[in-house]
Chain A
Amino acid sequence: MASLVSHPDEIRVVTKRFGQGATDLDRYLALDGYQAIQKALAMTPDDIITLVKNSGLRGRGGAGFNTGMKWSFVPKQSAKPKYVLCNGDESEPGTCKDRLIFEHDPHSVIEGVMIAALAVGSHTGYIYIRGEYRYLSVIMQRALKDAYARGFLGKNIFGSGYDLDIYWHGGAGAYEVGEESALMESLEGKRGIPRIRPPFPAVVGLWGGPTVINNAETLASVPPIILGGPDWYANLGTPKNGGTRMFCLSGHLNRPGVYELPMGYNLKKMIYEVGGGIPGGRALKAVVPGGSSTPILLADEIDVAMDFDSLAKAGSMLGSGGVVVLDDTTCMVKFALRTIKFYQHESCGWCIPCREGTDWLKKTLTRFHAGAGMKKDIDNIYYLAENMLGKTFCPLGDAAAMPTMAFVKKFRKEFEDHLDGKPCPFEKAAEPVMV
């Protein structure tokens, strides 16, 4: 459905089967499918974990935690069943990559869940797909059925004596449910309210059992790592940031699309060469580097390597890989308002700082952009955001606070230009770019 793009700088690891009919099981098998799980079945769980750890694979869901390390936290012995949960709730604004994996290569996600299950000694996995992605749920249900029909799932997989079941699960519209603890609540049939940590899901997760939660792209990266080896994968990226990742380029670009590039790829190059630069000869104003919760970068801050550590050093985050490009017609007050409107809508209301903070921010920014802003609002917006930071059960409050603080810090002048009843200075200039 969604159109594919390509660029010579791409290295196709997770996307290598895209556009090749790999939803069909035979086609997947012909393209090295279910080889990695067979290799993993001949390894010890500790060896699988060490291999993944050494590959430098870090979570593609946003936080960038080392995947092998996460798996190593699961206790070896557990009275309760252990679970693997694939997070396919994909709803961080700017992010549209897991969708492509489910559409083009669903078996790679299944195989990734299988290997994670082996590594932690789990016999049950779930693949949670957001409710809006119904067509992908259909594709996944079909893929699982096909895998069961061949005996790849169920009792005694590949004659190994290991039993493994994997099921699909569907959401019904909620960003917060992408947060790992809310995800488990949702899967248990409840409102997606986050759980306090510790205990972490690796110790107490689904129905109280130890649970590994990974993003769909993270899990789809695992089979190629098992086959290609940790050194090969690690060397594709930068130190401690192994491999490639799918970058979702959107906004004011000539060639938006999802591109798989090595970790550490230069952001400026990504915008101007891969994404084809800004349409209409406009100037670059700013970039959201990793989904709407990541602090914005100014045009002169984009000479940066796109990996977790470099972006942290640059005062932002690599996040979920959603690169949103803004040209000079964009009003930052309006952009801040639209960003906060999302978090206000999605806050589950459980933690008071997030519930109240996002609501007051939306109210203040709405009034401010409409021309009734007061000078003290600017500091107040910053203060409201700052008071959510680190004060909530889950990081949704942080996700709303961090970009807001960056908007005020980096675009204070633009906020001031909206004061004294002046109309938004961009309202007339802003013709929508309809390409």
Chain B
Amino acid sequence: MFFSDEFEARFADMLTHYPTRRSTLVPTLLYAQDEIGYLSDEVVAELAQRLDLNELEVRNVISYYSMLVTKPRGKYNIQVCTNIACMLKGGEELLDHCKHKLGIGHKETTPDGEFSLEEVECIGACSWAPAIQVNYDFHENLTVQKMDEVLDDYKKKGGEIL
């Protein structure tokens, strides 16, 4: 349908890994979201059909996992960890700084569609706190200044075609 060849190859491969088709669901949802941007009605219908599930079953799974979204968001999703190790090292200040600089709040998107912001739970970077992820990329041992550089870099990149 609308997925890349790489997606289709991975999906076909994964179907051979489990005794049930449904078992591919969680990682497949995330890979689908990475390609389409969010889990649209079309994606839900397509995956439900492929995995012999009804759409509600797929939606129930989607609503459980914090990384899965059903609405579009920015090209770069800035995920700021404010859990304990990051909080002790200024994670909340980083989050405030991003809110201020981007002019958006938690789970909001800038009008140009470039950035979204999200306060997240521990991302496994506690020893290198405070830490953030931009999409899947980690940025660690941050300060407000370094955060500015990170945002500026993505802003520059954003102009380019992905």
Contact = CB atoms under 8 A, between A and B. Distances in A.
Contacts of A175: 121
Most buried by B among A98, A126, A338: A338
B20 A207 contact: yes
Given A90-B124, A91-B124, A132 B136 contact: yes
Interface residues of B, number: 47
B90 to A, nearest CB: 3
Given A2-B138, A189-B61, A248 B23 contact: no
A417 B92 CA distance: 23
Contact of B89 (A95, A251, A257): A251
A174 B64 contact: yes
Given A2-B127, A134-B136, A292-B84, A191 B60 contact: yes
B84 A339 contact: yes
B124 A96 contact: yes
B144 interface: yes
Nearest to A334: B87
Contact of A93 (B17, B20, B60, B126): B126
A250 B122 contact: no
Contacts of B128: 2-3, 96, 256
A338 B64 CA distance: 21
A95 B124 contact: yes
A41 B88 CA distance: 48
A250 B83 contact: no
Interface in A309-363: 322, 324, 326, 330, 335, 338-339, 342, 345-346, 348
Identify the interface centre among B19, B51, B141: most chain A CB within 10 Å of its CB. Answer: B19
A432 interface: yes
Interface of B: 14, 17-20, 22-27, 29-30, 51, 60-61, 64-68, 82-85, 87-90, 92-93, 121-129, 133, 136, 138, 140-141, 143-144
Given A132-B124, A173-B68, A432-B89, 13 more contacts: A93-B121, A93-B126, A132-B67, A134-B136, A167-B14, A170-B30, A171-B65, A172-B29, A250-B129, A335-B87, A433-B90, A434-B89, A434-B90
8 contacts: A95-B124, A131-B30, A134-B136, A169-B27, A175-B121, A189-B20, A434-B144, A435-B141
Q: Top 9 A-B pairs ranked by shortest CB distance?
A: A173-B67, A432-B90, A189-B25, A173-B66, A170-B27, A189-B22, A172-B65, A250-B85, A250-B126
